[in-house]
């Protein structure tokens, strides 16, 4: 019986982990290229969640259609904030970019609060379920997981097979060297920031496909915290590492619940969080570059 | 000359003494402060509370003519400040309300946690402190002298639902408890567990989940394996919404699901649609409850304040047309009982107001009000239980307040998806 519960929770954890990983790739990409830690990360996830909600409830459009829409909105926001704020901070002390991204996040949260309100909202997108022996999976969760893998794969192909992707990798490795070789570093910064924000906003869509309730202007805070843990787990400057870090985080978070529940008088949820952050601490102590980041 | 000075001194002393003993003469307004949760995690409940308070303050000033004190009526002034649903803001705002605004009473912020945080500060300044969204019994076990509870205590939240389900199904045994790990929900859990055991239920699952949780799948998977017949759970709105949604995702079907807070709010239905059919939840108040001047007369207590209909109409003036829920009602009752206490004390002195609260036994649109004189804990107000039936909330318990019958057992999530509604024949 415990085996079935564990297998069920690991399956759920793997799916959630894929979405978590996707939600962290943008954070890692922006840090890897620009060296900017986006503490307003959660606010962009929230924008994606509201995009899905509004398209579904106001226009009756499926969350799958919300994926490209969110990507476009996210990239537009990325370019806007890069050319208005971030461009001035690429050479500034880290504290300046921390404060700026925090301010951007707060601005977005408060804007949504004033225009839409603070209510916790949700939507009902029922596309069936698959009943496995170990657990029941709504198709919307499976779509979210498949969507995450496809987007991660597309990003990988873009990085490895296109000139722009190669230029981004060059800037990540040595921005001065890349500049000397003719790469327009400022454009690569802008493009990377826009793609990073685009990915983050898109992940908001995928997260609501997994959890279609609790959508409100301040929902991003919890995801920001998890994204930082996952990013460190996978290597803060590695988008692929972040994706696999998400998978590992999801498995730990869900899988250990059943195991901790075996210990009498222990609240398993409290322990899973403890374990997540213990792992973070251990990785920072033993392998600060993250588990999956190349040297 | 000497005699003249003596007479003047006596007259001066007499007037001064009179002013001291009847300080009410100097009162030209009564001020009620409020660290309101207008933003942050409790913004939804906090906004409702704000509408309810403003509605009742308007009723007091415009219909009641103000607060009767020292033989005349003076206006009630409401001073809210946004506490952003944060503990540190609550404490600093209560300090500000006490020292700068010189308020005569404070309506606590929403939630048991914030009410408990602010209570020692109100106590320090010796200001009557009205708990309108703080149901936890623990607030009233700390020996605070000025704390007064307007709403039903947390330990009684699920008592009505447990009684109702026992009556509906004497053979039901297996009960699961899953509550948020918060001050308020822990108290609800404790009260529910004790009461359920007394009525012969076997607790087959008993766990909590953290605040701000965004995935309950692991907990619900384990809960499903425990095969309960009845589930009692919840904490606040977001987790309640998540709880019901993920129960549906995992296809967990039980005879009854009773959840605190979330079930009573229209947004619960808006977010989950037909999945809410048959779900029950306790409420401090619901539109349609039969509290009225006639009901007050029947039980032999005085009535004060607007009727249910008047309250809803007034609250809508501040909510932009939105229907007030029980958060608005419990908060709206706070200025009503405060004003009654001030009138009874005929003073704004904190100790006199607090003593007046002890003597009060009255009914408002929110229900009855009577406190334990030693602790300030509410003893007379009673909860109602509502159920979603055909997209509408129906009061199903207690029987004397019910506007409809309980639908039991709850339809399965598969049946709900096919359009089955929980409307009794």
The C-alpha atoms of residue B78 and residue B72 are separated, in whole angstroms, by 19
Share of chain B above pLDDT 70, in %: 94
Write out chain B residues lying below 8 Å of A123, CB-based. Answer: 271
Quick one: three-class SS letters along B233-299? EECCHHHHHHHHHHHHHCCCCCCEEEEECHHHCHHHHHHHHHHHCCCEEEECCCCCCCCCHHHHHHH
Per-residue pLDDT, B59? 97
Shortest CA distance from A251: residue in chain B: B218
User: Does one domain contain both B167 and B264?
Assistant: yes
Pair B151, B367: CB distance under 8 Å: no
β-sheet with B256-260: strand ranges across: B202-209, B174-180, B230-234, B256-260, B280-283, B384-389, B392-397
* Cβ pairs bridging A and B (under 8 Å): 110
> In a 10 Å sphere around its CB, with 0-12 CB exposed, 13-18 middle and 19+ buried, how is residue A202 labelled?
buried
Q: Are residues B142 and B210 in the same domain?
A: no
Domain annotation covers residue B374: no
Please give the structure tokens belonging to residue B164. 């109702």
The residue whose two tokens read 């564990």 is A6
Range of the domain at B341: 24-152+288-369
All residues of chain A having their beta carbon less than 8 Å from the beta carbon of residue B417 are: 126
* Nearest beta carbon to residue B251 from set A129, A141, A270: A129
B230/B108 same-domain check:
no
Are B168 and B275 within one domain?
yes
| Buried b / exposed e along A113-126 (16+ C-beta atoms within 10 A) | beeeebbbbbbbbb
Judgement on whether residues B347 and B265 belong to the same structural domain of the protein: no
The verdict on residue B14 lying in a domain is no
* Residue B15: pLDDT over 70: no
Phi, psi (degrees; rounded to nearest 5) at A213: -130, 175
Query: Residues A258, A2: contact at Cβ < 8 Å?
Result: yes
- Is it the case that residue A295 has pLDDT exceeding 50? no
Could A120 and B267 be called an inter-chain contact, meaning their C-beta atoms sit closer than 8 Å? Answer: yes
Query: Is B350 within 8 Å of B122 (Cβ atoms)?
Result: no
Domain assignment present for residue B162? The answer is: yes
Distance between B207 CA and the closest CA of chain A, angstroms: 7
Mean pLDDT over B18-35 rounds to: 73
**From A5, A118, A267, residue closest to B207, measured CB to CB:** A267
What's the token pair of residue A246?
């998400």
Which residues of chain B lie closer than 8 angstroms to A221, CB-CB? Answer: 212
Domain match, B217 and B318 both:
no
Q: What DSSP designation does B59 have?
A: I
Q: Count each helix (H run) and each strand (E run) in chain A, helices first.
A: 11, 2
The count of structural domains within chain B is: 2
First to last CA, chain A: 43
Smallest CA–CA distance, residue B215 to chain A, in Å, is: 7
One domain for residues B257 and B397: yes
- Predicted local distance difference test score (pLDDT) of residue B336: 98
Rounded to an integer, what distance in angstroms lies between the CA atom of residue B217 and that of residue A137? 11
Please enumerate residues of A whose Cβ is less than 8 A from a Cβ of B: 1, 4-5, 8-9, 12-13, 16, 113, 118-124, 126, 129, 131, 135-136, 138, 141, 210-214, 216, 218-219, 221-223, 253-254, 257-258, 261, 267-270, 272-273
Residues in chain B: 425
Nearest to B314 by CA among B63, B55, B78: B55
Q: Which helix (H) or strand (E) holds B157?
A: none
pLDDT at B24 (0 to 100): 46
**CA distance linking residue B214 with residue A186, whole number of Å:** 38
Secondary structure class of B340 (helix, strand, coil): helix
Residues in chain A: 295
CB contact (8 A) between residue B271 and residue A213: yes
Structural domains in chain A? 2-119+126-286 (1.10.3470)
Look at residue A257 in the predicted model and tell me its pLDDT.
Answer: 87
pLDDT (average), residues A5-18: 90
Residue B215 and residue B88 share a domain: no
Per the domain annotation, does B13 fall within a domain? no
Higher pLDDT residue, B214 or B293?
B293
Range scoring the smallest mean pLDDT among A27-31, A245-249, B272-276, B285-289: B285-289
Query: Is 70 exceeded by the pLDDT of residue A188?
Result: yes
Q: Which pair of structure tokens corresponds to residue B178?
A: 């899953």
Q: Evaluate whether residue B277 is within a structural domain.
A: yes
Taking only the tens place, the pLDDT of each residue in B71-118 is 899 999 999 999 999 999 999 999 999 999 999 999 999 998 999 999
Q: How far is CA B108 from the centre of its chain?
A: 11
Evaluate whether residue B125 is within a structural domain.
yes
Spatial CA neighbour of B364 closest among B183, B130, B159, B184: B130
Q: What pLDDT, in 10s, does the model give residues A57-99?
A: 999 999 999 999 999 999 999 999 999 999 998 888 888 999 9
Please name the member of B210, B221, B273 whose beta carbon is closest to the beta carbon of A135. B221
The reported pLDDT for the residue numbered A175 is 85
pLDDT per residue over A135-187, tens digit each? 889 999 999 999 999 999 999 999 889 999 999 999 988 888 998 988 999 99
B186/B255 same-domain check: yes
Strands (E) in A89-212, as ranges, are 129-131, 136-138
Say whether both B223 and B363 belong to one domain: no
Per-residue pLDDT, B22: 46
Record the pTM: 0.80
State residue B20's pLDDT score: 47
In a domain, B424, yes or no: no
Cβ pair A118, A112 in contact under 8 A:
no
The enclosing domain of B106 has a CATH number of 3.40.50.2300
Does residue B176 belong to any structural domain of this protein? yes
Count CB neighbours of A170 within 10 A: 17
Cβ–Cβ gap A269/B210 under 8 Å? yes
For B226, what's the count of Cα atoms within 13 Å in the CB-facing half-sphere?
A: 25
Do B69 and B110 lie in one domain? The reply is: yes
Residues in A touching B238 (Cβ below 8 Å): 120, 213-214, 216
Is A119 in Cβ contact with B267 (below 8 Å)? yes
ipTM over 0.90 threshold: no
pLDDT band at B3 (very low <50, low <70, confident <90, very high): low
Q: Are residues B242 and B332 in the same domain?
A: no
pLDDT at residue A280, as a whole number:
81
Q: Does B381 have pLDDT greater than 60?
A: yes
Say whether A257 and B47 touch across the interface (CB within 8 A).
no
Percent of chain A with pLDDT over 90: 53
Mean pLDDT of B345-363: 96
Rounded-to-integer distance, Cα B190 and Cα B404, Å: 29
- Confidence check: pLDDT of B195 > 90: yes
What does the pLDDT look like over A22-59, one tens digit per residue? 999 999 999 989 989 999 999 999 999 999 999 999 99
């Amino acid at each position: 019986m415990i085996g079935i519960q564990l297998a069920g929770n690991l399956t759920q954890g793997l799916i959630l982990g894929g979405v978590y990983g996707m939600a962290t790739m943008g954070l890692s990409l922006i840090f890897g290229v620009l060296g900017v830690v986006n503490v307003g990360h959660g606010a962009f996830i929230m924008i994606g969640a509201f995009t899905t909600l509004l398209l579904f409830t106001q226009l009756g459009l499926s969350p799958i259609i919300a994926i490209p829409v969110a990507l476009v909105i996210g990239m537009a926001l990325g370019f806007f904030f890069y050319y208005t704020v971030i461009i001035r901070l690429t050479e500034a002390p880290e504290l300046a970019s921390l404060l700026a991204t925090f301010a951007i996040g707060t601005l977005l949260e408060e804007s949504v609060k004033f225009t839409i309100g603070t209510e916790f909202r949700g939507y009902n997108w029922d596309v069936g379920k698959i009943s496995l022996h170990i657990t029941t999976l709504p198709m919307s969760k499976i779509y979210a997981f498949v969507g995450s893998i496809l987007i991660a794969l597309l990003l990988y192909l873009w990085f490895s097979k296109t000139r722009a992707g190669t230029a981004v990798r060059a800037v990540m490795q040595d921005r001065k060297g890349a500049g000397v070789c003719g790469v327009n570093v400022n454009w690569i910064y802008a493009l990377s920031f826009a793609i990073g924000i685009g990915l983050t906003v898109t992940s908001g869509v995928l997260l609501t496909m997994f959890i279609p309730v609790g959508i409100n202007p301040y929902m991003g805070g919890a995801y920001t915290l998890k994204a930082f843990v996952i990013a460190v787990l996978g290597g803060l400057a590695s988008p692929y590492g972040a994706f696999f870090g998400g998978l590992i985080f999801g498995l730990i978070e869900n899988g250990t619940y059943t195991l901790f529940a075996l210990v009498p008088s222990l609240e398993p949820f409290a322990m899973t969080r403890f374990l997540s952050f213990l792992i973070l601490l251990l990785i920072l102590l033993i392998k600060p570059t993250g588990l999956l980041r190349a040297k | 000359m000497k005699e003249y000075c003596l007479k003047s001194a006596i007259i001066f002393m007499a007037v001064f003494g009179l002013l001291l003993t009847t300080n009410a003469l100097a009162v030209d307004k009564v001020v009620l402060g409020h660290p309101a949760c207008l933003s942050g995690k409790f913004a939804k409940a906090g906004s409702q509370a704000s509408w309810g308070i403003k509605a009742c303050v308007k009723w007091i000033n415009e219909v009641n003519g103000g607060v009767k004190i020292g033989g005349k009526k003076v206006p009630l002034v409401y001073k809210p400040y946004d506490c952003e649903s944060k503990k540190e803001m609550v404490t600093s705002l209560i300090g500000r309300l006490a020292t700068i605004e010189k308020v005569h009473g404070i309506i606590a912020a929403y939630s048991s946690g914030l009410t408990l945080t602010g209570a020692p500060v109100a106590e320090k300044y010796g200001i009557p402190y009205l708990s309108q969204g703080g149901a936890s019994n623990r607030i009233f076990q700390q020996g605070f002298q000025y704390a007064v509870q307007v709403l039903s205590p947390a330990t009684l939240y699920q008592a009505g639902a447990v009684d109702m389900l026992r009556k509906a199904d004497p053979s039901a045994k297996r009960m699961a408890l899953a509550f948020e790990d918060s001050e308020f929900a822990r108290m609800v859990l404790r009260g529910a567990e004790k009461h359920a055991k007394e009525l012969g239920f076997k607790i087959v699952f008993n766990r909590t989940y953290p605040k701000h949780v965004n995935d309950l799948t692991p907990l619900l998977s384990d809960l499903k394996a425990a095969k309960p017949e009845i589930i009692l759970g919840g904490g606040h709105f977001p987790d309640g919404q998540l709880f019901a949604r993920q129960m549906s995702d995992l296809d967990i079907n039980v005879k009854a699901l009773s959840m605190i807070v979330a079930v009573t709010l229209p947004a619960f239905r808006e977010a989950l649609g037909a999945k809410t059919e048959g779900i029950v939840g306790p409420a401090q108040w619901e539109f349609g409850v039969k509290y009225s001047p006639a009901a007050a007369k029947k039980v032999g207590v005085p009535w004060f304040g607007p009727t249910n209909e008047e309250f809803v109409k007034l609250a809508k003036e501040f909510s932009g047309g939105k229907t007030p829920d029980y958060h608005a009602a419990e908060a709206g009752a706070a200025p009503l009982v405060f004003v009654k206490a001030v009138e009874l004390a005929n003073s704004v002195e904190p100790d006199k107001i607090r003593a007046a609260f002890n003597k009060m036994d009255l009914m408002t649109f929110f229900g009855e009000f009577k406190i334990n004189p030693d602790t300030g804990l509410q003893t007379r107000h009673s909860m109602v239980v509502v159920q979603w039936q055909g997209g509408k909330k129906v009061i199903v318990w207690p029987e004397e307040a019910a506007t409809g019958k309980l639908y039991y057992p709850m339809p399965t999530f598969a049946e709900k998806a096919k359009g089955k509604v929980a409307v009794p024949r």
